[in-house]
Amino acid sequence: MIYKSFRPLAYVLRAPVAIIFIALLGGCSFFGGGPAKPQPTELQPVTGLVSARQIWATRVGAVNFPLEMGVSGNSVAVASSDGTVALLDAQTGRDVWRFALNTPLAAGVGNDGKLVAVVTKANEVVALQEGRELWRQKLGAQAFSAPFVAGLRVFVLAADRSVSAFDGQTGRKLWTQQRPNEPLVLRQSGVMLAVGDTLVVGLAGRLVGLNPSNGSVRWEAPVATPRGINDVERLVDLVGRVSRQGDIVCTRAFQASVGCVNAARGNLLWAKPANGIQGIDGDDRLLFGTEADGTVNAWRRTDGERAWSTDRLRYRSLTAPVVVGRSIAIGDFSGFIHLLSREDGSLLNRLPTDGSAIAATPVLVGSTLIAVTQNGGVYGFQPQ
């Protein structure tokens, strides 16, 4: 059962002629009705055991798509559903530049510090530089993951499980790698990152290492294997964000497992069952993640054994966590950022925003923790 109060989870069902969207709203079934959703856990008073203060706030516009903030150096790229894209100075919150594409967005934002890329609902990847549109190219299928910008290229993971590479300055398509289709894919951010000279991508339940020059497959490592009696139960897409330490990439397979892969050798180190729908983060000892019911877990990075678990935020529609000093920061449906202890999950502080749901996993840029809300508020905090 999936409990998502304000950010309905959707699937893409591929038919021979069209792509059909099926939304699962809260705990309801496909055909309506269903049991009542559990009530979110009431928040208890908190004494700030770690200091954190808001240092700036700005706005970008309402966010109702799977936003990923693009971090590079001291900049962070954000975007709104209506196509406003902004590159912000993370220390001050001031615009480096801002541009209105005036077209609804489906995914974003990729950022390498110079080039910023998004995907529109019209199935176009658009690259921007210095506050102007540089190029746009039509995609063969819709994309829900932010483009990955690196090595003077823009990489796009599409809903048909294709990966395409474009020249960062001209938009010329360099290659496309097409993998076998599955009946369903998530309308949610997937996995793309660079490890050394390898482009690492989540395709179905596997991490796949690609040659970024031509798209050829270097290795595949299964994190989860489809099981169940129907297509929904068999869905095991890998979801962003991931936790990387050196060559070791740890990731989550949707409602199936968490696991770690050696991305230099292409082999699975371990995988453990886990029922989450958001990505994970971690440090050199532990991995942290939120389960579908709002339970927050920590696993040992070496072998995946459970280190601690807390249910103080159950049914609060949590984001993935981000490591912040001695804490992990997690957003919820009512606009709070919760700071939990990395050691035992105890509550260390709670930071308010505008009361609307946190729309993207918070990010840490230098010493600034940044959060974006569904109503379009962008907030910078200075945590301990």
The model's pTM is 0.90
| For range 63-86, the mean pLDDT | 97
Tokens of 336: 């709070």
- Mean pLDDT, to the nearest integer, of 288-308? 98
User: Could you tell me the domains of the chain?
Assistant: 67-187 (2.40.128.630)
* 3-class secondary structure, 187: coil
Return the ∠ at Cα 190 (arms to 263 and 22), rounded to 5°. 150
Tens-place pLDDT, residues 24-54: 333 333 334 556 789 999 998 998 899 999 9
Question: pLDDT tens across 95-127, in order?
Answer: 999 999 999 999 999 999 999 999 999 999 999
**Average pLDDT over every residue of 134-138:** 98
Q: What pLDDT score does 256 carry?
A: 93
pLDDT tens digits, one per residue of 342-379: 999 999 999 999 999 999 999 999 999 999 999 999 99
Mean of the per-residue pLDDT values of the chain: 90
Yes or no: say if 339 and 324 are a contact pair by the CB < 8 Å rule: yes
CA distances from 78 to 70, 132, 332, 354 (A): 7, 15, 19, 17
- Check residue 337 and report its DSSP letter: E
Give 198-253 as a DSSP string. Answer: EEEEEETTEEEEE-TTT--EEEEEES----SSSTTTT---EEEEEEEETTEEEEEE
Contact 155, 212 (CB under 8 A): yes
Q: Is the dihedral of CA 211, 217, 221, 224 positive or negative?
A: positive
pLDDT above 90 covers a percentage of the chain that reads 80
> Is 339 in contact with 46 (CB distance < 8 Å)?
no
Instruction: Give CA separation, 249 vs 14, 131, 153, 192, in Å.
Output: 30, 33, 22, 11
Range 319-343 average pLDDT? 97
Average pLDDT score over residue span 47-71: 95
H or E element at residue 155: strand 153-157
